[in-house]
Amino acid sequence: MNLHGIASVWLERQWYAAEEPGPLLTGLEACYRRAINRRREAYRTGRKPVQRLPVPVIVVGNLTVGGTGKTPLSIWLAEFLKGQGYRPGIISRGYGGQPLERPLLVRARTSPREAGDEPVLMARRTGCPICVFPRRAEAGRTLLAATDCNLLIADDGLQHYALGRDIEIAVVDGQRGFGNGHCLPAGPLREPPDRLGEVDWVIYSGAGPVDAAVMTLEGDTAVNLLDSSVRRPLDLFRGQPIKAVAGIGHPQRFFDQLRQHGLTLDAKAFPDHHAYRRDDLAFAGDPPVLMTEKDAVKCRDFAADNLWCVPVAARLPENFGNQLLNQLKTLNHGQETA
């Protein structure tokens, strides 16, 4: 693990520990909070321009650094809205990919080294057109010019205030919550928790308060990386030594999922968006290696018959989908959207 990865792991342990952060981190936190407040106020007052697009924009994001389930929710939204007659496109920053000078249209065969792992995963899972660029409004305009999309989903765009949005959805990790409740770098929060009072929807991942909208991730089948037609129920991996790897925001969630199926694991966590190499997955005796679908998109070039990914699908309450559709019908962008 490189120095950046070691620092990330150390910080995360501090963020979710019971102890209060020290004065150095809380001092830096105060500076950070002043900066984000000034930035937000600049967009509210018009000193910084907010760019509106001619179609509905649904922003999916979270308050904490790391994984909460944003990408599975974006995939669910795209598939759900396609089923309702919409033509959704997805825009993303493309974190983990190469620096871009112009928006990049992402397809199922695009390299994750170029576009980032999550956009490639979403392209393969949804079949929707996807565009990545740090300036999301430019990505959206590129997508609208190149395709017949009539709705955009902005993955991980909650803090990207330059992009106008019609609906905001915040995902909260129902297990870890907000950690120590502090903002960066003293804690995991990008914005204070009261930001949730401004969004349209708060979706809890895994578990949540009574009457909350809860998203669960379900997956009980492993897919072979060398031959995707080969699938095996997770239960069939019981009784043998298994290696499990995860380079996601909350690796423990994946490892817990596997253990719930009775698997005995030797688990190894990598930093989020880790760029895998063949040596990372070379274990003595070539045991079965299980990984997330997000990890798998970066391992196709050196796929082997002992490498497996475990796709998951998001499940949400039926009333969430119905109410979201009603909300979309009230929007007026001067064109039919479904």
Residue 65 has pLDDT above 80, yes or no: yes
Cα–Cα separations (whole angstroms), residue 90 to 157, 178, 313, 336: 11, 27, 18, 19
Q: What ranges do the domains of the chain cover? A: 43-216+315-329, 220-311
pLDDT per residue as tens digits for the range 9-30: 677 778 987 788 999 999 999 9
pLDDT per residue as tens digits for the range 107-116: 999 999 999 9
Provide the β-strand partners of residue 204: 172, 214
The angle at the Cα of 100, spanning 99 to 102, to the nearest 5 degrees, equals 170
- Confidence bin at 333 (pLDDT 50/70/90): low
CATH code linked to domain 43-216+315-329: 3.40.50.300
Task: Return the higher-pLDDT residue of 66 and 320.
Answer: 320
In the block, tokens 């999922």 appear at 257
Mean pLDDT, range 236-257, rounded to an integer: 94
Provide the β-strand partners of residue 152: 57, 89
Mean pLDDT, range 212-222, rounded to an integer: 95
pLDDT per residue as tens digits for the range 271-301: 888 999 999 999 989 999 999 999 999 998 9
Long-range contacts of 233-239 (CB under 8 A, 24+ apart): 234/258, 234/261, 234/263, 234/310, 235/261, 235/262, 237/261, 237/263, 237/288, 237/290, 238/262, 238/263, 238/264, 239/264
CA 131 to the chain's CA centroid = 15
> What local confidence, expressed as pLDDT, does residue 337 receive?
45
On average, the pLDDT of the chain sits at 93
> What local confidence, expressed as pLDDT, does residue 84 receive?
97
> What local confidence, expressed as pLDDT, does residue 338 receive?
47
pLDDT per residue as tens digits for the range 84-141: 999 999 999 998 888 899 999 999 999 999 999 999 999 999 999 999 999 999 999 9
Q: Supply the pTM of this predicted model.
A: 0.93
- Span between the terminal Cα atoms of the chain, in Å: 47
> What local confidence, expressed as pLDDT, does residue 334 receive?
46
